[in-house]
Chain A
Amino acid sequence: MAYFMVVLLDDSRMEKIKGTDLEKNIKYMFGGELRLLEVEVNEELKDKILAEFETARVDSRGAITDVPVAFMRELFNQVAEKKSLGPEVVEGVLAKVNEIKELAAKESEYLPPPEIETE
């Protein structure tokens, strides 16, 4: 099975990859309302992610989900920095695994809410 991780693209992330080749790889779901990139994950990296993060799981499509938010944030940073969707992206994230785990520990109790108007 081929594994992958989904990087969601909101407006601010779209800004950061503007003009790069990554734009050609954008996938659209839900009638074009959701934009995303799929990062390739090989068998070895998949096992590493599952070993490092106990919440992580693989869904029926082969997508790796339920990793800490800090992981997902770094995943986008690596995509933008390396301008790639290959396995080196997840390798780059895993190189910072300790830093991510530290952030994740804090994130299990607090996550900054988005800046939108509520009532």
Chain B
Amino acid sequence: MSRLLIERPLPHGGRLVERVIEDKKVAQKLWKSCKTTYEIKPTLHYETGVPVRNVYREIMSICYGFFSPVEGSMKQAEVERILKERRLLSEWIFPYPLIFDISKDDLNKLGVEVGDRLGLTLKGKPFAILDIEEIYEIDPEELAFKTFGDPETNPEVVREKFDKKHPGWVIYRSHQPWVLAGKYTIINPPKFKAPFDRFWFPPRKAREEFEKRGWRTVINHQTRNVPHVGHEFLMKCAAFTGDVEPCHGILVNAVIGVKRRGDYPDEAIVEAHEAVNKYGYIKPERHLVSIVLWDMRYGNPLESLLHGIIRQNMGCTHHMFGRDHAAVGEYYDKFATQILWTKGIPSFGFPAPPTDVPYGLLIRPQNMREFSYCPTCKEMAYSETCGHKREKLSGSFLRGMVAEGVQPPSIIMRPEVYKVVVKWWKKFGYPFCNEKYVINKEKELEVELEDL
């Protein structure tokens, strides 16, 4: 074999974390051994009371291995290490604290101690267990500031002090002050509702699927949006990287979690991406749509690090990053993600890129600019290649067109993609997430649970 060939990377940390009990008898026994139970609650905005996060999504992503090598709610020393140098106690790099937080009241009511096993219910049904190894108090506001950095401490990339206009900062600021740390185990695997069920490829299944398809090299496309033709070209053309031939597969991985008003509904996002392969714009043999549960923290370079971890765990060899990756507002430099992956960010613990530090990542970044229509070339052209004036398409212009009920031309949005948008528009009475959708989604979640 050529030494130039790139092999599928090992999971981050060396092995996949899998903490899901499928055997009902074993699960029932574990459930009976719990000291008491606790119904998982959504994290509510510390001022407005609107749901901003649900820890169930973190438990799912941890136990199915998306966040390998993380195995549970982090201990205090681990959270502190992450905030200082973005490393777990096991040395492996990781961007965010992940904790199981509860109120003082709930802690008192539960009466649990270190060494106890806590049963976690979701929508009233047994869901997971948490083996408590440590109980400690946090200051949510301090946690929020330290998680994202600030212009003084992280002058390389942080441009503005974080505040309540940043949805990720709000998530940490809204955490409850007491933390139960310890490993999670899912004892009653939830069933995804349609259409999400057919896009559920947790790391082991994703790796098996890649193997089955003969995909040695796979490039990931991160999405929270319905794809327009610019995205389609980004995927197709970024896939020309690879090793001695273009990447064998393009994995679309949609982040499913709390929505903001004006986003497209998650149902439309996954089915619209599927339409890209179903109707041959990228043939299905080379394109796969999948999901991961996560309430986006919008931490730009930090979020890109998490994205790299998730997709390496899923078996991808490459990851596309664009300008303003997973960003909101102007808190970070527009190219903060590119700075991290090409030079590193010393103040965040990266004197070199995350692929070049000990206990770092194996997935390769593919930094991309954008595609837009060039009337001279008469095609979708790459911003760094085409020397003409191109017709740039802003997201808000396209959303305005959709809201007005005008079908976008097929060079902007494929007709089959538009049909998917309209299909869910008919169902929800709105093309984007309105207040009703946002609230309902957090009440119903993406999953159903059976009795144990």
Contact = CB atoms under 8 A, between A and B. Distances in A.
Contacts of A113: 405, 422, 425-426, 429, 431
Interface stretch (A16-24, A62-70, A85-93): A62-70
A10 B407 contact: yes
A26 interface: no
Nearest to A7: B404
Interface string A99-119: 000000000111111101111
Contact of B409 (A33, A59, A69): A33
Contacts of A2: none
B403 A30 contact: no
A94 interface: no
B411 A31 contact: yes
Interface in B355-385: 373, 375, 378
Contacts of B391: 29-30
Interface stretch (B34-42, B144-152, B393-401): B393-401
Among A34, A57, A63, A117, max chain B CB count under 10 A is at A34
Interface in A57-87: 57, 59, 63, 65-66, 69, 72-73
Interface residues of B, number: 32
B406 A10 contact: yes
A97 interface: no
A58 to B, nearest CB: 11
Contacts of B425: 111, 113-114
Interface residues of A, number: 27
Interface in B418-452: 419-420, 422-423, 425-426, 429-431, 434-436
Among A30, A57, A73, max chain B CB count under 10 A is at A30
B409 A34 contact: yes
Nearest to B375: A31
Contacts of A72: 400, 404
B419 A30 contact: no
B400 A33 contact: no
Given A30-B412, A109-B434, A119 B423 contact: yes
A57 B436 CA distance: 25
Nearest to A72: B404
B201 to A, nearest CB: 23
B410 interface: yes
Contacts of B436: 109
B267 to A, nearest CB: 13
B430 A110 contact: yes
A110 B429 contact: yes
A37 B327 CA distance: 33
Nearest to A66: B396
Given A111-B431, A119-B423, A65 B375 contact: no
The 6 closest A-B pairs by CB, nearest first: A33-B409, A118-B423, A113-B425, A114-B405, A30-B411, A65-B396
30 contacts: A8-B401, A8-B404, A8-B406, A29-B375, A29-B391, A30-B373, A30-B391, A30-B409, A30-B411, A31-B411, A33-B410, A57-B396, A63-B397, A65-B394, A65-B397, A72-B400, A73-B404, A109-B430, A109-B435, A110-B429, A111-B425, A111-B431, A112-B405, A113-B405, A113-B422, A114-B405, A116-B407, A118-B420, A118-B423, A118-B426
Interface of A: 6, 8, 10, 29-31, 33-34, 57, 59, 63, 65-66, 69, 72-73, 108-114, 116-119
Given A111-B430, A112-B405, 5 more contacts: A10-B407, A29-B373, A66-B396, A114-B407, A118-B422
Interface of B: 373, 375, 378, 391, 394, 396-397, 399-401, 403-412, 419-420, 422-423, 425-426, 429-431, 434-436
